[in-house]
């Protein structure tokens, strides 16, 4: 049918009419989800459009007949939080408009899948002997945020980062454990809703399972959200790899009052099922034993249980199987689904074209029979299998508190009016605590460093080595070491926010802003990680599906002030802004965010033009953060910081000292000596470029050396500002900066210069490690662009600030 | 004199360390893919 009208409203009505006719639903009842009011309960009729995002929605449970409750609008009215299959999902309105719904009480025609547990089929396996291999490998596979890394850390004793939001793990981590004298390698893979290649880290999982073929898969399933989680299980079942299912968060499931017949479910799915609580290790030993047993049994097993999709699809799979008996059912089904990556496997095959033609015919036959598109049919069949199985084994507690305790805090934290103020208040509390709580241990370390310097000075005879130790190593490394407590405190708070589930809410609250600046709401997570360190943040952009989104996020992440810049801020803020420490620090972070936003707008409208990107994110229930995770997080940050002290910062301090010490000239004061040194000459050469920003040559040099690592800005200042007299030498760097004067006797630093210097440190080019990560993830061209762009932005912003502030002062 | 020699030796060591780090950073490990996953056929590696 063809419409000539240009009226979009008319077209829409006609389209709904057509769809209603097809679905056999009353025309008045069918409508898009985006206009539903808060509190509305509706039922999915179908998801419109095509492409990967539609498939993602189907896989997340937006299949016909699924109940949806509209929970709330974000504070800026977009996105909207929906509850589907017991999960809370954040969906932008523009995407929600693709989901067609009807009233909850409307009877929809039965789905293809329905409650179709048709039992399982069996695949005859080739002979294999996994035990012949010295190393047995078990892969951890599951939905995002279902507790894979928590289990991995518990079993292997590793300290990999975990958080109560999806996308924390972006590549594989390997560890091992020993059971019955056999070493088994455990591989932690990124979380994925399905084995469809929607984002790079999902592709990683699929490629890993296909190419590495682990000896067993440990499928982690969130016990509180089995229907959605088991969708992935159906795909794993078809891969013909021995599988054990761990039902995680079993403690929460038991508290909910729901009941599950584990033995029956185990029979239905053809795999061992063990309830566990990964956070405290309950049931973990049993699950490991089950994995080992599954591998041992696979040695003698001749068949593998698969999902039974009913006669039409099963016959199609069998026909393809005769042409390619080497491919597993998962891949064969993907070929029938017209999956690009599965079809690529046929390109090199002799009978590839024949198989593709056969698959096209089979697909058309299935679509004709079920009167729907293949993606919907397969999703329906898989959900039908899962629903059918759960209907037999799961008894839900009808008296359960519908409000869901894990989401009770959302009444305040994502409230329309309170959401944003609470976000800012939390940020302020974190930054202020970093100063106030950190002040005491910081003073102790500072006293210790000063004492050490004086002691070395007094016990060693005067000479070059003593100068290197006192003015180079102790002043340089000690100047940075004093901020260790502040770093630990900051990361303690970040860990609490991550583990509690608040980070995902923060993304929900600011998503509309992200959308406005042309970014994906998921970019918020790399940005948050960027407050810690740019390198993992750049890696975390792998969770973004669209390459342009990834590039924009990678290029803007360095504006999120990383913890390496913190020592410079802490030093200058405590020296020149004693009254408003928390606010000044927060203002710097906000400037970084604003510059990142403006850069993103600029890039998305010029070099990286693109349409809006789809965004669907799960909002996990709030959980009580554990002391163990907070301690692991703090320890990991602390040890990284100390490691840097002993390597990059130590080396940089030595080199900066040498450049500031040589060549020696007899009869010169300390000040003249430094000015005539190699470093001094270098500094004087770049001074014209930094003078308009209010910086002297020492500050210019500090900024340059900061390229190796941002902490070196402080250690360089510690080396360059050595002081003339014994009193000055023993003063802390903070006191030196407060008193240092230029040739005219004016103070070099004042609040305006200090803030300008912090602005420049915040915005100028990232350290070498971050630049390497950019080169790796985005390419050399974008790395060079980043160096030039960030430095230009830093110079212009600092220049404007300094000149305007000086005029107003 | 001894102090000067030791100090210069330490400075030379520091410079060597920087040189090695720079080469490793830009040359990369694992055939140019240094994303850290340790896999030679890492799907994230831009050269792939």
Would you say A454 and A728 are in contact if contact means Cβ atoms under 8 Å apart?
no
Alpha helices in A581-664 (DSSP H): 581-605, 627-644, 650-661
Record the tokens describing residue A260, joined without a space. Answer: 């599950």
Contacts of A465 in chain B (CB under 8 A): 2-4, 6-7
CA distance B15 to chain A (A): 7
Nearest C-alpha neighbor of A363 from the set A323, A313, A406, A292: A313
Contacts of B29 in chain A (CB under 8 A): none
Q: How far is CA A463 from the centre of its chain?
A: 51
Overall size of chain A counted in residues: 809
CA distance A7 to chain B (A): 45
The 10s digit of each residue's pLDDT in A18-29 is 444 455 555 557
Contacts of A211 in chain B (CB under 8 A): 41
pLDDT on residue B14: 93
User: A120-306: same fold as A8-103?
Assistant: no
Query: Strands A136-142, A216-222: parallel, antiparallel or unpaired by DSSP?
Result: parallel
Contacts of B22 in chain A (CB under 8 A): 768
- For domain A120-306, give its CATH number from 3.40.50.620, 3.40.50.300, 3.90.660.10, 3.40.50.1820: 3.40.50.300
The 10s digit of each residue's pLDDT in A462-472 is 899 999 999 88
Query: Strands A87-91, A80-84: parallel, antiparallel or unpaired by DSSP?
Result: antiparallel
CATH 3.40.109.10 assigned to domain A311-395? The reply is no
CA distance A346 to chain B (A): 19
pLDDT on residue A632: 81
Residue bearing the bigger pLDDT, A168 or A710: A710
The 10s digit of each residue's pLDDT in A766-784 is 988 888 788 878 888 999 9
pLDDT higher than threshold 80 for residue A448: yes
pLDDT higher than threshold 60 for residue A493: yes
- CA–CA distance, A374 with A376 (Å, rounded to integer): 5
Using the beta-carbon criterion (under 8 Å), do B26 and A772 form an inter-chain contact? yes
H or E element at residue A796? helix A780-808
Q: Name the 3-class secondary structure at A272.
A: strand
Contacts of A779 in chain B (CB under 8 A): 46
CA distance A772 to chain B (A): 7
CB-closest option in A172, A461, A468 to B7 = A468
pLDDT higher than threshold 60 for residue A516: yes
- CA–CA distance, A378 with A723 (Å, rounded to integer): 74
* B27 inside 8 A of chain A by CB: no
pLDDT on residue B39: 43
Would you say A500 and A621 are in contact if contact means Cβ atoms under 8 Å apart?
no
- CA–CA distance, A723 with A717 (Å, rounded to integer): 11
pLDDT higher than threshold 90 for residue A756: yes
Q: Which residue of chain A has the CA closest to B24? A: A772
CB-closest option in A171, A207, A768 to B25 = A768
* B31 inside 8 A of chain A by CB: no
Mutation site, B1, B24, B37, B42, interface A, largest A CB count within 10 A = B37
> What are the residue ranges spanned by the domains of chain A?
8-103, 120-306, 311-395, 422-467+482-628, 636-808
CATH architecture of residue range(s) A8-103: Roll (2.30)
> What are the residue ranges spanned by the domains of chain B?
1-48
The 10s digit of each residue's pLDDT in A258-272 is 899 999 999 988 899
How would DSSP label each residue in B1-48?
-HHHHHHHHHHHHHHHHHHHHHHHHHH-SSTT--SSS--TT-TT-TT-
Contacts of A204 in chain B (CB under 8 A): 43-44
Alpha helices in A47-147 (DSSP H): 51-59, 93-96
Residue bearing the bigger pLDDT, A376 or A666: A376
Cβ partners under 8 Å of residue A595, min gap 6: A559, A763, A793, A797
The 10s digit of each residue's pLDDT in A82-100 is 999 888 999 988 889 989 9
> What percentage of chain A exceeds 70 in pLDDT?
88
pLDDT on residue A424: 87
Measuring CA to CA, how many Å separate A209 from each of A15, A45, A121, A787, B30? 41, 34, 21, 38, 21
CA distance A711 to chain B (A): 16
pLDDT on residue A416: 87
- CA–CA distance, A428 with A57 (Å, rounded to integer): 37
CB-closest option in B18, B37, B43 to A203 = B43
pLDDT on residue A18: 45
Nearest C-alpha neighbor of A103 from the set A41, A155, A165: A41
pLDDT on residue A708: 79
Residue bearing the bigger pLDDT, A71 or A14: A71
- CA–CA distance, A36 with A96 (Å, rounded to integer): 10
* A784 inside 8 A of chain B by CB: no
Contacts of B7 in chain A (CB under 8 A): 464-465, 467-468
pLDDT higher than threshold 90 for residue A112: no
Number of Cβ within 10 Å of residue A10's Cβ equals 11
Nearest C-alpha neighbor of A102 from the set A150, A30, A207, A28: A30
The 10s digit of each residue's pLDDT in A27-47 is 557 899 998 999 999 999 888
pLDDT on residue A725: 52
H or E element at residue A736? helix A733-739
- For helices A780-808 and A768-778, angle between their N-to-C axes, nearest 10 degrees: 130
- CA–CA distance, A675 with A484 (Å, rounded to integer): 31
Residue bearing the bigger pLDDT, A169 or A365: A365
Q: Which residue of chain B has the CA closest to A536? A: B35
- CA–CA distance, A146 with A491 (Å, rounded to integer): 23
C-alpha dihedral over A405, A406, A412, A414, to 10 degrees?
-140
Using the beta-carbon criterion (under 8 Å), do A204 and B44 form an inter-chain contact? yes
Segment A9-14 shows an average pLDDT of 40
Using the beta-carbon criterion (under 8 Å), do A651 and B26 form an inter-chain contact? no
Would you say A71 and A88 are in contact if contact means Cβ atoms under 8 Å apart?
yes
The mean-pLDDT minimum among A164-173, A379-388, A449-458 falls in: A164-173
Mean pLDDT of chain A: 84
Cα dihedral A89, A620, A411, A517 sign: negative
Record the tokens describing residue A148, joined without a space. Answer: 């894979």
C-alpha dihedral over A728, A731, A732, A736, to 10 degrees?
-30
Mutation site, B4, B5, B6, B10, interface A, largest A CB count within 10 A = B10
CA distance A776 to chain B (A): 6
Cβ partners under 8 Å of residue A537, min gap 6: A526, A527, A528, A529, A530, A557, A560
- CA–CA distance, A764 with A160 (Å, rounded to integer): 30
Number of Cβ within 10 Å of residue A425's Cβ equals 11
Q: Which residue of chain B has the CA closest to A169? A: B37
In the sheet that A182-188 helps form, which strands lie side by side, from edge to edge? A173-179, A182-188, A136-142, A216-222, A243-248, A272-275
Backbone torsions φ then ψ of A796, nearest 5 degrees: -65, -45
Say if the ipTM goes beyond 0.90.
Answer: no
Using the beta-carbon criterion (under 8 Å), do A542 and B44 form an inter-chain contact? yes
Q: Most confidently modeled of A290-304, A337-351, A413-427?
A: A413-427
Backbone torsions φ then ψ of A394, nearest 5 degrees: -110, 130
Using the beta-carbon criterion (under 8 Å), do A172 and B37 form an inter-chain contact? yes
pLDDT higher than threshold 80 for residue A137: yes
> What percentage of chain A exceeds 90 in pLDDT?
29
Segment A661-687 shows an average pLDDT of 86
Q: Most confidently modeled of A259-263, A515-519, A530-534?
A: A259-263
pLDDT higher than threshold 90 for residue A792: yes
Would you say B14 and A654 are in contact if contact means Cβ atoms under 8 Å apart?
yes
Using the beta-carbon criterion (under 8 Å), do B44 and A200 form an inter-chain contact? yes
């Amino acid at each position: 049918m063809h419409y000539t009208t240009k009226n979009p409203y008319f077209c829409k009505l006609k389209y709904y009419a057509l769809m209603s006719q097809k679905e056999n639903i009353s025309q008045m009842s069918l409508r898009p989800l985006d206009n539903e009011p808060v509190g509305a309960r509706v039922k999915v009729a179908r998801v419109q459009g095509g492409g990967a995002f539609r498939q993602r929605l189907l896989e997340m449970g937006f299949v016909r007949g699924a109940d949806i409750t509209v929970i709330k609008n974000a504070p800026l009215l977009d996105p909207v939080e929906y509850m589907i299959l017991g999960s809370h999902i954040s969906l932008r309105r523009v995407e929600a408009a693709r989901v067609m719904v009807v009233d909850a009480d409307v009877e929809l025609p039965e789905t293809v899948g329905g409650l179709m547990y048709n039992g399982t089929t069996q695949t005859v396996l080739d002979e294999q002997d996994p035990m012949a291999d010295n190393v047995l490998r078990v892969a951890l596979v599951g939905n995002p945020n279902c507790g894979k890394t928590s289990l991995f850390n518990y079993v292997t004793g590793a300290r990999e980062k975990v958080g109560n939001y999806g996308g924390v793990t972006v590549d594989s981590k390997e560890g091992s454990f020993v059971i019955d004298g056999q070493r088994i390698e455990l591989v932690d893979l990124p979380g994925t809703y399905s084995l469809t290649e929607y984002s790079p880290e999902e592709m990683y999982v699929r490629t890993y399972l296909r190419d590495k073929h682990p000896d067993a898969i440990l499928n982690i399933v969130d016990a509180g959200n089995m229907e959605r989680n088991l969708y992935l299980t159906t795909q794993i079942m078809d891969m013909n790899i021995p599988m054990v299912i761990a039902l995680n968060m079993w403690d929460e499931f038991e508290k909910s009052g729901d009941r599950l017949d584990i033995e029956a479910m185990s029979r239905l799915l053809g795999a061992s099922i063990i309830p566990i609580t990964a956070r405290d290790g309950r049931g973990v030993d049993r699950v490991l034993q089950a994995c080992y047993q599954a591998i041992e049994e696979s040695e003698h097993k001749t068949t593998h249980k698969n999902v039974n999709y009913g006669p039409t699809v099963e016959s199609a799979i069998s026909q393809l199987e005769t042409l390619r008996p080497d491919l597993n059912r998962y891949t064969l089904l993907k070929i029938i689904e017209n999956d690009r990556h599965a079809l690529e496997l046929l390109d090199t095959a002799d009978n590839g074209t024949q198989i593709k033609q056969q698959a096209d015919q089979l697909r058309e036959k299935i679509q004709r029979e079920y009167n729907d598109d293949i993606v919907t049919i397969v999703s329906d069949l898989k959900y039908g299998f899962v629903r059918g199985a759960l209907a037999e084994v799961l008894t839900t507690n009808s008296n359960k508190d519908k409000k869901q305790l894990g989401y009770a805090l959302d009444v305040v934290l994502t409230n329309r009016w309170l959401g944003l103020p609470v976000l800012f208040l939390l940020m302020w509390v974190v930054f202020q605590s970093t100063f106030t709580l950190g002040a005491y241990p910081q003073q102790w370390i500072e006293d210790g460093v000063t004492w050490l310097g004086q002691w070395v000075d007094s016990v060693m005879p005067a000479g070059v080595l003593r100068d290197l130790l006192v003015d180079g190593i102790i002043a340089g490394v000690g100047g940075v070491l004093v901020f260790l407590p502040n770093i630990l405190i900051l990361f303690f708070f970040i860990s609490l926010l991550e583990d509690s589930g608040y980070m995902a809410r923060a993304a929900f609250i600011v998503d509309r802003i992200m959308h406005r600046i042309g970014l994906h709401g998921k970019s918020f997570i790399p940005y948050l990680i960027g407050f810690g360190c740019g390198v993992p943040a750049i890696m975390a952009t792998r969770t973004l599906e669209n390459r342009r989104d990834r590039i924009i996020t990678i290029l803007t992440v360095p504006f999120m002030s990383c913890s390496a810049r913190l020592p410079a801020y802490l030093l200058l803020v405590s020296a020149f802004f004693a009254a408003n420490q928390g606010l000044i620090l927060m203002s710097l972070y906000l400037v970084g965010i604003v510059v990142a936003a403006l850069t993103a707008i600029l890039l998305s409208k010029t070099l990286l033009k693109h349409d809006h990107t789809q965004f669907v994110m799960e909002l996990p229930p709030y959980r009580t953060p554990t002391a163990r995770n907070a301690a692991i997080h703090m320890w990991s940050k602390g040890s990284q910081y100390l490691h840097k002290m002993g390597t990059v910062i130590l080396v940089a301090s030595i080199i900066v000292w040498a450049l500031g010490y040589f060549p020696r000239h007899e009869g010169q004061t300390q000040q003249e000596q430094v000015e005539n040194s190699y470093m001094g000459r270098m500094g004087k050469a770049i001074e014209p470029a930094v003078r308009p920003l209010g910086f002297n040559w020492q500050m210019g040099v500090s900024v340059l050396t900061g390229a190796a690592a941002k902490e070196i800005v402080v250690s360089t200042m510690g080396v360059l500002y050595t002081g003339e007299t014994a009193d000055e030498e023993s003063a802390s760097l903070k006191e030196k900066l407060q008193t240092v004067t230029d040739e005219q006797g004016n103070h070099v630093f004042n609040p305006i210069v200090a803030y300008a210097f912090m602005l420049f440190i915040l915005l100028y080019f990232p350290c070498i490690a971050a630049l390497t990560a950019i080169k790796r993830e985005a390419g050399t061209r974008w790395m060079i662009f980043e160096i030039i762009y960030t430095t230009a932005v830093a110079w212009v912003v600092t220049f404007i600030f300094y000149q305007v502030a000086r005029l107003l002062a | 004199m001894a102090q000067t020699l030791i100090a210069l030796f330490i400075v030379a060591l520091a410079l060597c360390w920087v040189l090695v780090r720079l080469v490793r950073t830009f040359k990369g490990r694992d055939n140019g893919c240094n994303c850290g996953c340790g896999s030679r056929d890492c799907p994230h590696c831009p050269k792939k």
